Amino acid sequence: MSYDGKTPMLDDLEKGAWPSFVKEIKTAAKRTNTAKDLLGILERSYRDKVTHWKHGGIVGVLGYGGGVIGRYCDLPEEFPGVAHFHTVRINPPSAFYYTSSALKELCDIWDKYGSGMTNMHGSTGDLVWLGTQTDKLEPIFAEITAKGWDLGGSGSCLRTPSACVGMSRCEFANIDTMSICHTMTHKFQDELHRPAFPYKFKIKVSGCANDCTAAIARADMSIIGTWKDNIRIDQAEVKNYSSKMNIQEEIVGMCPTKCMSFDGGSLKINDKDCNRCMHCINQMPKALRPGKEKGATIMLGGKAPIVTGALMSWVIVPFMKLEAPYDNLEALIRKMWEWWDDNGKNRERIGELVDRLGMRSFLEATGLPPVPQMVKAPRTNPYVFWAPGEVK
């Protein structure tokens, strides 16, 4: 059966107030056969209740092991425009800052070689180009690299690091997230483009515990800005807030560690008990500010449920001073990778390896000291033991 251009099931998804992906693909279909056949094969998939995509594992550009995700359809005669429908991942600038001319430059390349459809941004953080053919990959690569862009990561490699806007426009940033992301991307070019790990590894950098990159749930290594000293309090501003909000109920009562008290006039914080969650600072930004001794909490092991179940990140360094060129961070990451490389099974994320071999093995390999912040849940301490040689 040949495709007649009609898409009754997709048309239903144009209704309603929200922007519709169907409307966008239809707009693109006026210009390219790729988009036209994408509509057709999607309508067909809805009707057949089965995907018509096949994974292509070997397509890419010469020398790189990542950045292109191969896709073919299983109905190429019926939908020739999507016989090849490869995805290209473009490594974005830190925190997704583009000038309008940079976006135009990228879109011009994509209109020339691909479907014109994009996904900004994919969950890894790359600018994603949807739909091109195998013979267009090298020309795309040549054009983007000539203009200073590069492919992002895919496969068993370091995925494109990502960061929140940090100090560029956020008053809560405790670390220079964009600089860290940019520097790590440059330091780890080999690991990004030439997959040599047991599986993927994601680094995400958030400037504070609000964690705008959702690193804690999504990154194998979360770098979360924090502070070591005391929260700075402006009691006059606290008084102003007290006329507009119920500080006892909304701030003190919701503090997760119950480290605050308010007597109606001034706010007191027992900083030793504070876990730097940012709730009070978010609610009263004029009255409360992070301390002056800033750095990051380094966490390990967050991941979505792909091979095994989802994991949340786990503290491995409660406080690390982070200043350019971040050699201390690089050294830690390389030690972690070495241990993972030596012990990880195929498709085993680093957090899963910690679960399998134990935190003790990880700590011995990296030289990190066991600290109370590593305890994942109350009354659990499964990894700190005396080794036989340490007992006198």
Does 1 interact with another protein (rule: CB under 8 A)? no
CB of 237 to another protein, least distance (A): 53
Cβ neighbours for 204, distance < 8 A, ≥ 6 positions apart: 125, 161, 162, 163, 213, 214, 215, 218, 219, 221, 222, 223
Burial label for 292, CB within 10 Å (0-12, 13-18, 19+), is exposed
**Exactly one of 15, 49, 55, 244 binds another protein (CB under 8 A); which one?**
55
CA nearest to 111, candidates 34, 19, 26:
34
**Exactly one of 21, 26, 32, 65 binds another protein (CB under 8 A); which one?**
65
**Exactly one of 258, 347, 364, 382 binds another protein (CB under 8 A); which one?**
347
Task: Map residues 257-296 to x or -, x wherever contact with another protein holds by CB under 8 A.
Answer: ----------------------------------------
Beta bridge partners of 222: 204, 299
Return the number of the residue (189 or 328) whose C-beta is nearest another protein. Answer: 189
- Residues that bind another protein (rule: CB under 8 A) add up to a total of 34
The span from the first CA to the last CA of the chain, in angstroms, equals 80
Q: What is the DSSP letter of 132?
A: E
**Distance between CA 129 and CA 261 in Å, rounded?**
52
Return the number of the residue (203 or 317) whose C-beta is nearest another protein. Answer: 203
Contact 177, 205 (CB under 8 A): yes
Does 308 interact with another protein (rule: CB under 8 A)? no
Return the number of the residue (66 or 301) whose C-beta is nearest another protein. Answer: 66
Return the number of the residue (66 or 290) whose C-beta is nearest another protein. Answer: 66
Does 139 interact with another protein (rule: CB under 8 A)? no
Return the number of the residue (155 or 290) whose C-beta is nearest another protein. Answer: 155
Burial label for 308, CB within 10 Å (0-12, 13-18, 19+), is middle
- Could you tell me which stretch among 99-107, 135-143, 159-167, 196-204 binds another protein (CB under 8 A)? 196-204
